[in-house]
C-alpha cells in the first residue's frame, strides 16, 4: 500500500488563529475558554464558550470572498491556507485532478441560517441575501477551497457531528493510499457559537455551568467535571503520498498509518456502557495500521469533560488495549480548546502529529481531582517529554459514530 504522510498543518482555534499559538497553549495548559462576548448570554444558565478571538475575516480574507462565506467556512479558509503554505504548496492554476478536498463540518452555516430566518420573518423573501444558500451549505467551505487551490480530485464533505474531522482525514488517507489522489486537504470546521447554538446544547444539559471560572470549566476525567464547553474554529492538514512529498523536498511531520470507524447503534447522544463501539473503532484502526496495542505510546482522547463520555472512553481504551492501557499516556486537549465540534478531530490530529514530531505530549489541563472511574495516565496539567513511537486519536459523535486515526513518528 502507498504510504501517506502529513506535510502541512493549519488551525484557527479559541487559543489562537494559527498552529503555533494553538500548540503553545496546549503544551502550557492555557485555556481558551471565556465568558461569551458575541451575544448577550446574561440570562442563560450557561454563559461561557471557547470562542475564536481577534478574528477579522476582512483582514485575513479578501472582503468580497468573506461576504460569500459563513463563519465556519471563513475559519476553514484561513486554516487551509496556513496548512497549504506550511506544506510549501501553491495553488494549481490549471487544476490538479490528483488533489483531493475533504473538509467537513458538524453543523455548517448556522450563523447564516439564523440570520436568514430572521430576515425572512421580517421582510419575506425580499429579505434574503442571494448568498443565503451558498453560505448555509456545509460543503461550500471545501467547494471554495477547491476553486481557489485547483483541487479537481476526490471531494467529500463529511458531517458526522463531533467525529467529522477524524472521518474527513481518514477518508483522505484512504483516497491517497488507494491511489485515487496524491495530495489532499482534510479536516473540519465549525462556527456555531450563536445564541441558538449555545441554547440548543444547553437545554440538552450537555454544557458546563462554571460561569464563575471559565478557564477551568473544561476538565476531562476530573471527578468534578460537569459538561463540555462549546468551541469553534478549524483544523486542517495536508496529507500526501510519501514519494510525492519526498520528490518535492517537503518536510514530513508524521505518517498516518491507520483509520477505522464504527457505530454504537445504541442511542442518539449517549455512549453504551463499556464503550464497545469506540473500542471496536480503536481495535480496527490498529489492524488497519498493522500495529499491535503495545506499539502505541500516546492517545489523544475524545475527552469531552462530560461525566458519561470520559468514564466510557476510559473503559473503551481498556477494552481495546488490554493490559497495555495502564502504560499508555492519554490526554484531552479539549481541556484547553473546549469542544470544537466538527472541527475537533482536525485540531486533535494536529496535536497528535505535533506530539510525535516534537516529542512533547500535551497535558490534560484542569485535572485536579481524578475520578476513580477514570484511572489511566492522563498526563495531568503538565506536558511530558516522550519520543512517542505512535499515537492514536479518537473522535466520537452524536448518532453513535466513532472514528479513530493512527499516526506514527516519521522514519524515512
Instruction: Work out whether the CA dihedral 222, 341, 71, 172 comes out positive or negative.
Output: positive
Q: Give pLDDT, residue 400.
A: 96
167 catalytic residue (yes or no): no
What Å distances lie between residue 9 and 19, 79, 326, 352, CA to CA? Answer: 7, 8, 31, 11
Q: Give pLDDT, residue 290.
A: 97
Give Cα 258 to chain centroid, integer Å. Answer: 17
Q: Nearest 5 degrees, angle CA 137-CA 348-CA 247? A: 90
Q: Give pLDDT, residue 1.
A: 81
CB atoms within 10 A of CB 161: 20
Q: Note the pLDDT tens digit of each residue in 123-146.
A: 999 999 999 999 999 999 999 999
Give Cα 136 to chain centroid, integer Å. Answer: 20
Q: By the 8 A CB rule, do 306 and 206 touch?
A: yes
Strand partners, 255: 5, 408
User: Within the chain, which residues score under 50 in pLDDT?
Assistant: none
Q: Give pLDDT, residue 391.
A: 98
Round the CA-based radius of gyration of the chain to a whole number and report it: 20
Of 162, 167, 261, 374, the active-site residue reads 162
162 catalytic residue (yes or no): yes
* 42 class by beta-carbon count within 10 Å (0-12 exposed, 13-18 middle, 19+ buried): exposed
pTM of the model: 0.97
Q: Give pLDDT, residue 157.
A: 98
CATH class of the domain whose range is 259-408: alpha beta
Q: Which three cell numbers mark 70?
A: 459563513
302 catalytic residue (yes or no): yes
Q: Do 4-247 and 259-408 fold alike per CATH? A: yes
Per-residue three-class SS string for the chain:
CCCEEEEEEEEEECCECCHHHHHHHHHCCCCCCEECCCCCCCCCCCCEEECCCCCCHHHHCCHHHHHCCCHHHHHHHHHHHHHHHHCCCCCCCCCECCEEEEEECCCCCHHHHHHHHHHHHHHHHHHCCCCHHHHHCCCHHHHHHHHHHCECCCEECCCCHHHHHHHHHHHHHHHHHCCCCCEEEEEEEECCCCHHHHHHHHHCCCECCCCCCHHHCCCCCECCCCCECEECEEEEEEEEEHHHHHHCCCCCCEEEEEEEEEECCCCCCCCCCCCHHHHHHHHHHHHHHCCCHHHCCEEECCCCCCHHHHHHHHHHHHHHHHHHHHHCEEECCHHHHCECHHHHHHHHHHHHHHHHHHCEECCECCCCCECCCCCCECCECCCEECCCCEEEEEEEECCCEEEEEEEECCCC
Of 86, 244, 261, 302, the active-site residue reads 302
> Where are the chain's structural domains?
4-247, 259-408
Distance CA 250, CA 241 (A): 11
Do strands 155-156 and 99-104 pair parallel, antiparallel, or not at all (unpaired)?
Answer: parallel
CB atoms within 10 A of CB 187: 37
Q: Give pLDDT, residue 269.
A: 87
Q: Note the pLDDT tens digit of each residue in 156-165.
A: 999 999 999 9
Q: Give pLDDT, residue 12.
A: 98
Q: Identify the residue whose cell numbers are 479536516.
A: 187
Q: Give pLDDT, residue 58.
A: 86
- For domain 4-247, give the CATH superfamily: Thiolase/Chalcone synthase (3.40.47.10)
Amino acid at each position: 500500500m502507498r504510504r501517506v504522510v502529513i506535510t502541512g498543518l493549519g488551525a484557527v482555534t479559541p487559543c489562537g488563529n494559527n498552529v503555533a499559538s494553538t500548540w503553545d497553549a496546549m503544551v502550557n495548559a492555557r485555556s481558551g475558554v471565556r465568558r461569551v462576548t458575541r451575544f448577550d448570554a446574561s440570562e442563560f444558565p450557561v454563559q461561557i464558550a471557547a470562542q475564536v478571538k481577534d478574528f477579522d475575516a476582512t483582514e485575513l480574507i479578501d472582503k468580497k470572498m468573506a461576504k460569500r462565506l459563513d463563519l465556519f467556512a471563513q475559519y476553514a479558509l484561513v486554516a487551509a491556507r496556513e496548512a497549504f503554505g506550511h506544506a510549501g504548496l501553491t495553488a494549481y492554476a490549471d487544476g490538479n485532478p490528483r488533489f483531493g478536498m475533504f473538509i467537513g463540518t458538524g453543523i455548517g452555516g448556522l450563523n447564516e441560517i439564523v440570520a436568514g430566518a430572521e430576515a425572512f420573518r421580517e421582510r419575506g423573501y425580499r429579505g434574503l441575501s442571494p448568498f443565503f444558500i451558498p453560505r448555509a451549505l456545509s460543503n461550500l467551505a471545501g467547494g471554495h477551497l477547491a476553486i481557489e487551490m485547483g483541487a479537481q480530485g476526490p471531494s467529500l464533505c463529511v458531517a458526522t457531528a463531533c467525529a467529522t474531522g477524524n472521518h474527513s482525514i481518514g477518508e483522505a488517507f484512504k483516497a491517497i493510499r488507494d491511489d485515487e489522489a496524491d495530495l489532499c486537504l482534510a479536516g473540519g470546521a465549525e462556527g456555531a457559537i450563536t445564541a441558538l447554538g449555545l441554547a440548543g446544547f444547553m437545554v440538552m444539559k450537555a454544557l458546563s455551568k462554571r460561569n464563575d471560572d471559565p478557564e477551568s470549566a473544561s476538565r476531562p476525567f476530573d471527578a468534578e467535571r460537569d459538561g463540555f464547553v462549546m468551541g469553534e474554529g478549524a483544523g486542517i492538514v495536508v496529507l500526501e503520498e510519501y514519494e510525492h512529498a519526498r520528490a518535492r523536498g517537503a518536510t514530513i511531520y508524521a505518517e498516518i498509518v491507520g483509520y477505522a470507524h464504527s457505530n454504537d447503534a445504541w442511542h442518539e447522544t449517549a455512549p453504551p456502557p463499556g464503550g464497545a463501539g469506540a473500542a471496536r473503532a480503536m481495535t480496527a484502526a490498529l489492524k488497519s495500521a498493522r500495529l499491535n496495542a503495545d506499539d502505541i505510546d500516546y492517545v489523544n482522547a475524545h475527552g469531552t469533560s462530560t461525566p458519561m463520555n470520559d468514564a466510557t472512553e476510559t473503559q473503551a481504551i481498556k477494552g481495546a488495549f488490554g493490559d497495555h492501557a495502564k502504560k499508555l499516556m492519554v490526554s484531552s486537549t479539549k481541556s484547553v480548546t473546549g469542544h470544537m465540534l466538527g472541527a475537533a478531530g482536525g485540531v486533535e490530529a494536529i496535536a497528535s502529529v505535533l506530539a510525535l514530531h516534537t516529542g512533547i505530549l500535551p497535558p490534560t489541563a484542569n485535572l485536579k481531582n481524578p475520578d476513580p472511574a477514570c484511572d489511566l495516565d492522563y498526563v495531568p496539567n503538565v506536558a511530558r517529554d516522550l519520543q512517542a513511537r505512535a499515537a492514536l486519536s479518537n473522535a466520537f459523535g452524536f448518532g453513535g459514530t466513532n472514528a479513530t486515526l493512527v499516526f506514527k513518528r516519521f522514519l524515512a
